[in-house]
Amino acid sequence: MTAYQAGSMAAFEELYARLAPPLLAYLTSLARDRGRAQDLLQEAFLQIHRSRRAYRPGLPVRPWVFTIARHVWLMDRRARGRRPGSDAPLPDLPVPPEVAALAERDRLNRALSTIGSERREALLLHHVWGFSFAEIGQLLGIRADAAKLRSSRGMADLRRALHATSRRDHA
């Protein structure tokens, strides 16, 4: 990031290579539309570029770029007038390693779709992308313990949803 701030195109390309995949997955989980998320990803990198001065060397890069990506999604949602509780099906999402062994991908995805968006976001940020609760708190504008609560409740919801689908499959 520091080399990018110094004007290195190679540094930007490396940043893109490292951050585009998790950012696309994150935006997909928010937008629930892979095509839309790809557009948002490009917009997010343009915003990252415009605001690169605001990154302070020494601070972790990922919370900074995820926060900007989330902002891009929020602005897009506001422009489209879409409500947060969209019931469109979730596209293929990354799955927390802790529960990856519990069921096949499709069932996990369906179970994730049933969790409230706030809890799902905190759950994925912590278990999939490895953010600390303090970082999630800063990203979402909430306290670290509130982020922890959302994530743990999201995990409990996910286990319950998996249990319910498992019982339905056996019946």
Partner 1 sequence: MPERIDLPPALRDAIARDLHPIAPLPPPARRLAVVIPVALALLVASAAIFGLRGDAPRLGVALTWLASTLQMALGLVLTAAALRESVPGTTLPRRVLGVLIGTAVLAIVLITTLTWFASPTRIASGHVGFVWTVCVAGTVAGALPVLAIAGWLVARAFPLRPRVAGALYGIGAGLIADAGWRLFCHFSDPVHVFGAHALGIALAALIGVAVTRPSAESR
Q: By CB under 8 A, name the binding residues for partner 1.
A: 2, 5-7, 9, 12-13, 16-17, 20-21, 24-25, 41-42, 45-47, 49-57, 59-60, 63-64, 66-68, 71, 135, 137-139, 141-143, 146
> Residue 152: what are its φ and ψ, rounded to 5°?
-70, -35
CB atoms within 10 A of CB 136: 25
Kindly tell me which of 74 and 164 has the beta carbon lying closer to partner 1: 74
Kindly tell me which of 14 and 166 has the beta carbon lying closer to partner 1: 14
Kindly tell me which of 55 and 117 has the beta carbon lying closer to partner 1: 55
Q: 19-47 burial, b if ≥16 CB within 10 A, otherwise e?
A: bbebbbbbbbbbbbbeebbeebbebbbeb
Give least dist CB 153 to partner 1, A. 18
Distance (Å, rounded) from C-alpha 90 to C-alpha 88?
Answer: 6
- Torsion angle (degrees, nearest 10) of CA 32, 37, 38, 39: 130
Give least dist CB 117 to partner 1, A. 18
**What burial class does residue 53 get, using C-beta atoms within 10 Å of its C-beta: 0-12 exposed, 13-18 middle, 19+ buried?**
exposed
Give least dist CB 94 to partner 1, A. 10
Give least dist CB 115 to partner 1, A. 22
Give least dist CB 161 to partner 1, A. 25
Kindly tell me which of 29 and 138 has the beta carbon lying closer to partner 1: 138
Kindly tell me which of 2 and 86 has the beta carbon lying closer to partner 1: 2
> Residue 101: what are its φ and ψ, rounded to 5°?
-80, -10
